[in-house]
Structure 1
């Protein structure tokens, strides 16, 4: 899943110059810095600098564009070279099942107490044994209310009216593309039955004929310009469009949504465990975590952080005010194991179809 924010900033990696000089002078080099991998713009630009100054640690940020990109690196290296990684929950679950995640010692994360009760009951990791939720939300329909009638069903996107046909987009990432079809047909967003998934494929192949594009990153801009009128969207990304055009609205279809969760995990291979714990605890501080809600416009699962969000923000972006108890009524995306290969094959067939 792509999480690169339109508010992304260029963040430079820490130089190895000092270590090289130390080696040249025959003096002991500093220990390897704490390595944190995250999507671009997904935390404050000065978060690493501030954490280092407050904690006395040496941390650096490296970026990944997608879950799939960082997963390939982590699996190939067995997590060596990374300490804390931000990934969506199905991928955190995969890392756990592969034995690559640290079993979390909550005594080292006092700010875990800031989380909503619901954030400690997530199906992929009840009790936060190996992951800590960073952001969460829903996937629904984002649309120009001045150009189209208010949609109420996934079929308004998948089987659009003639007036809307050619002015719709869908998310390109496997799990979310398939989820639209799964939900429209009344199936689980983790469905693996081959017959049912064949129906999902056929529905999405037909829907492709009406699409403007598959688009994970610029769909909200297409809504702003009027090039698109109805799109599949993560709630936070729809908010970017709402911020530019008040006629843009977000709705969860009657058939429901997935519950997506982006998480932080500490790698078992980390050689900087104490610093890794210090970093995730720093992020869960109410003021630090609130930054994500106020700047990337995603709900955060931190009750202390959300309680301090200005009410005007929620008035402007109504989906920011959704209650955690309501969010947990939707099915969370889970690791589907070997069926992920089938998912990838089906998406390839859908995108290749004429």
Structure 2
């Protein structure tokens, strides 16, 4: 889906996703403190940036950073939509959620004059469909989703999403899939040649039926420990984000990552300044600091995800790229994959379908 929603329909989507007010509270952590000049509150996933980054940022700029953690995009979106972004200055969210924040008027424009380190990014990073020119978001990390497998336990090389959805007899009970709405449904959509942003109810129902059938052959739905299941041999083939597959490769060199022949999604994790922030200059300084070559290099080396920071990627040791081949995927090749977009009102249908899939017998 390439069209934009009206503000009203986007707000309806937020309610459909359970992102409306109710039981979450109006303000985020440190709301009062965030009002003070020279202090910002950010929300990020745990372990997604250097632990000493706030300390180093304060030493360099004098600006204090309070870090709040969220486990999922949905969690932080619930808080931000309910409180209209108050109490937060910078949010780390995946691209479809950044797109929703912009449509809801909850993100602020980014002043590129205040973020000179945008110059460190690949040209492709300014051509992302959800935010051409990076007008309201700054890309932090990006990658693909595919098949992660034990080359010593799987015969041949998996080449299709159908190897996951319709596993051979030897793989039944040895396969895991991601349970997150967009990625579980994407596997089914791609297997049928459909878009990862498909909104047709008929196609959603078709994919739901296939995934209910697939569940009978799964070991588990697993978004966090699938790579350790590969390492132990409990699983032989898993549905995985590329960086998380690298965690398995780090422990077992028989583990491989492949993008199926039908293609995959290009996901992007971004940084967004909230419209409610009263410390926007400080927030810009923080984003500029994050986009330095050194910080981008840390992410690639320690999280084992690709970053859209050209200066950072070019500074990586060749041995690291040899050990984790998917880190070396060229941006031009990544851009051939389909970019995840906001589904609009169809997100409710995805959530309903996944709930029914995971609850099925």
CA offsets 1:125-145 (integer angstroms, 9 cap, x no match): 000000000000000000000
Residue matched to 1:336: 343
Once the two structures are superposed, the pairs formed by residues 16-55 of structure 1 within 5 Å of their partners are: 31=37, 33-55=39-61
Q: Please give the secondary structure, in 1, of the residue aligned with 2:108.
A: coil
> What does residue range 93-108 of structure 1 map to in structure 2 within 5 Å?
93-108=99-114
Deviation at 1:342, TM superposition (A): 0.5
Q: Distance in 2 between matches of 1:86 and 1:196?
A: 31
Q: How far apart, in 1, do the equivalents of 2:45 and 2:64 lie?
A: 20
Q: Helix, strand or coil for the counterpart of 1:203?
A: helix
CA drift of 1:75 comes to 0.1
Structure 1 residue 340, shift from structure 2 partner: 0.5
Match of 1:89 in 2: 95
Counterpart of 1:216 in structure 2 is 223
Instruction: Choose from 200, 206, 209 the match for 1:199.
Output: 206
In the alignment, the residues of structure 1 paired with residue 84 and residue 256 of structure 2 have an alpha-carbon distance, to the nearest angstrom, of 43
Task: Give the aligned partner of residue 72 of structure 2.
Answer: 66
Checking the alignment, whether the CA contact within 8 Å between 2:42 and 2:91 is kept in structure 1 is yes
After superposition, the Cα gap between the structure-2 partners of 1:316 and 1:124, relative to the gap in structure 1 and judged at 3 Å, is same
2:183 corresponds to 1:176:
yes
Question: Hey, what's the Cα distance between the residues in 2 that align with 1:291 and 1:132?
Answer: 17
Aligned ranges for residues 234-253 of structure 1 at < 5 Å? Answer: 234-253=241-260
Deviations 1:279-314 (A, max 9, x none): 000000101111100000000000011000001011
| Matching residue of 2:140 | 134
Gaps (5+ residues) in structure 1?
1-12, 20-28
Given the two structures, how large is their TM-score scaled by the length of structure 1? 0.91
Aligned to 2:196: 189
Q: Are 1:301 and 2:308 matched, yes or no?
A: yes
Report the alpha carbon displacement of residue 33 of structure 1 after superposing the two structures with TM. 2.5
Deviations 1:134-159 (A, max 9, x none): 00000000000000021000111110
CA offset digits 1:185-240 (Å, max 9, x no partner): 10000001111111110111111000000000000000000000000000000000
Mapping of residues 252-267 of structure 1, within 5 Å: 252-267=259-274
Q: Point out 4+ residue stretches in structure 1 off by more than 3 angstroms.
A: 29-32
SS at match of 1:156: helix
| Residue equivalent to 1:110 | 116
* 2:131 aligned residue (125, 129, 137): 125
Mapped pair 1:79 → 2:85: yes
Shift of 1:58: 1.5
- The aligned counterpart of 1:231 is 238
Q: Tell me how far apart the structure 1 counterparts of residues 177 and 38 of structure 2 sit (CA, whole Å).
A: 42
For 2:276, the equivalent position in structure 1 comes to 269
**SS of the residue 1:342 aligns to:** helix
Distance 1:139 1:267 in 2: 28
Aligned length, in residue pairs: 330
Q: Could you say which residue in structure 1 is the equivalent of 2:16?
A: none
- Equivalent of residue 285 in structure 2, options 264, 273, 278: 278
**Aligned counterparts of 2:147 and 2:296: Cα–Cα separation in 1:** 27
The aligned counterpart of 2:5 is: none
Residues of 1 paired with 2:162 and 2:72: CA distance? 28
Name the TM-score, length of structure 2 as normaliser: 0.90
**Contact 2:39–2:282 (CA<8 Å) still a contact in 1?**
no
Matched, 1:323 2:330: yes
Is there any run of 5+ residues in structure 2 with no aligned partner, and where? Answer: 1-28
